[in-house]
Structure 1
């Protein structure tokens, strides 16, 4: 399934131009983009509900047992029984969270592949049915899944290193007399790590786009290609990351705050959750669309020269220049 080109892009775009093109893709996506949104919001909300109620019950039960444990005599039959129940509750909580994380991972993988591919087809001015999109996902999901696995491991290691380093620097700074210089150093290190985190986020999301749109390019190869693609546009990409984060992070924080607000009834909290999760899903879909456009800009491929094919990623449309 190849597409014809109708959406035009005037050369290299700035940050505003990329955001505008991404909005055009969403508005021009019609039923397909609406279907992706529906398939995103419903499982996301169901997973949120399941995790909220199951975790809430487990944590409450665990806290009550810990309180009872502190009031019981060590070595007594009651103490031993409570210890066993606490270990059991912790195990159940870990299994529950593991299942939840795996389910979220699968939903996010589906949304990522669907949004990126649909955005690429729309960017080239083509048309795609939901059946064709699902067929594409079934044929190519392993590549972005492998890439995502590599990225997750790499980001986990970097996160642990960052927090360990920051903790060390701030402990030294706060534990020393006259530690203005050390505090300044700690601040500079924190700023450096922030820049590194932005760069890693940029490489991660571009490598995911690469693994979705370019067949046979995944894992470390996709990460390496993403690093090469963003050369010369790191600042632009980092600014896009920051802009998307400035919208997403406060909304996610607001959801957590409102869900823990004891002044609201459960029904009120759930209504707020539906609204906020819907907004979060919209922002995530928009962010993936933004970086699909950014990927093509890094390739220096205008929309009128992009041809997206089922199972073939992208190709440049042959130029008519030089033909008789």
Structure 2
């Protein structure tokens, strides 16, 4: 029965997360609605920008010479124009990613603060103005902590690419196929390891919002200490949330190609909205996990200065 204890603990986290959301229904609805609207708007701008630019694009192959023909001249000027259109699409996508990242950061901060305001069996009156003020105040701490998380993520990506590089060199032969099979197993294991390691990283993000004097590398160190004994619970949370999103995205990708093309706008909006809902509940659950980690270590909860009614303790 010890095997089931982490799963039971995760169910308790889900139950307490729902209770926290119910205590500040108005602000929760406003925060979630703003996040969804801004994310959907950025996706719509990306979609229509790409659609408008792609209408004016002629496939590059149209300008490529036919082998053996007398005219081997390539219209380089036209190809440069086409590449310029591709470049604009790439820039539009990067702007979307940047906008979505900024929206996600502010949304996660507001979500954590809402969860904190409803903690300990009582609801603290938190106005939208005060919530916005606290969110802006916490943004720099969150940026510094996210920088540390990004460096770790980039390091993991480089490791995966280093492992996968041999199969790229020997692609097209039996050795390459064997290496691809081995890499597929290795990359799957790396993804599982990443979800395990990222438990402390996400907890560090929560700490940087709640504890005003603890952010960046210090938040990462503190998260690594606090998560001891409850890392499996965070790992299960990561698996459930990430695989839920992966399953929804995979459903659309694995369907008929024509269906995906015809319903790209609707499916894209659905993914954006679903990811916003998932991310919102994800940070509520991790805030509850933070409370439990502090309690298991016998530490008092520190509350941001704008959330009155509680005394502070030293952060790190």
TM range (shorter): 0.7 to 0.9
For residues 121 and 231 of structure 1, the distance between their equivalents in structure 2, rounded to whole angstroms, comes to 25
**From 75, 87, 91, the counterpart of 2:83:** 87
Contact 2:43–2:269 (CA under 8 A) maintained in structure 1: no
Q: Please give the TM-score of this superposition, normalised by the length of structure 1.
A: 0.78
Contact 2:141 2:216 in 1 (8 A): yes
1:287 is displaced (CA, Å) by 0.6
The answer for unaligned runs of 5 or more in structure 2 is 1-7
CA deviation after TM superposition for structure 1 residue 114, in Å:
0.5
Aligned partner of 1:157 among 149, 155, 158: 155
User: Could you list the per-position Cα deviations for residues 165-218 of structure 1 after superposition, in whole angstroms to 9, with x for gaps in the alignment?
Assistant: 145369779734996xx8896576445423321123212211110111111222
Aligned counterpart for 1:244 among listed residues 241, 245, 248: 241
Counterpart in 2 of 1:175? Answer: 174
CA displacement at 1:147 relative to structure 2: 1.3
Determine which structure has greater relative contact order: mean sequence separation of CA pairs < 8 Å that are 6+ residues apart, divided by chain length: 1
| Deviation per residue, 1:62-111 (Å, 9 max, x gap) | 5x2412222485545xx121232133223322322222122111111111
Identify the residue that residue 21 of structure 2 maps to in structure 1.
Answer: 26
Q: Which residue of 2 aligns with 1:52?
A: 47
* In structure 2, distance between residues paired with 1:250 and 1:239: 16
**Match for residue 68 of structure 1 among 48, 53, 62:** 62
Return the TM-score normalized by structure 2: 0.80
* CA separation of 1:273 and 1:99: change in aligned 2, threshold 3 A: closer
CA RMSD of aligned residues (A): 3.6
* Residue 37 of structure 1: how far off its partner (Å): 0.9
* Aligned pair partner of 1:136 in 134, 157, 160: 134
Assess if the C-alpha contact under 8 Å between 1:210 and 1:218 holds in 2: yes
Match in the other structure for 1:218 = 215
Deviations 1:269-321 (A, max 9, x none): 5455544533332111111100011111111269xx64634358996789xxx
Q: Matched residues in 2 for 1:282 and 1:193: separation?
A: 27
SS of aligned partner of 2:229: coil
Structure 1 portions without partners, runs of 5+: 1-12, 319-324
Alignment length, in residue pairs?
Answer: 299
Helix, strand or coil for the counterpart of 1:232?
coil
Distance 1:60 1:138, change over 3 A: same
Query: What does 1:183-202 correspond to in 2, within 5 Å?
Result: 189-190=186-187, 192-202=189-199
Distance 1:272 1:198, change over 3 A: closer
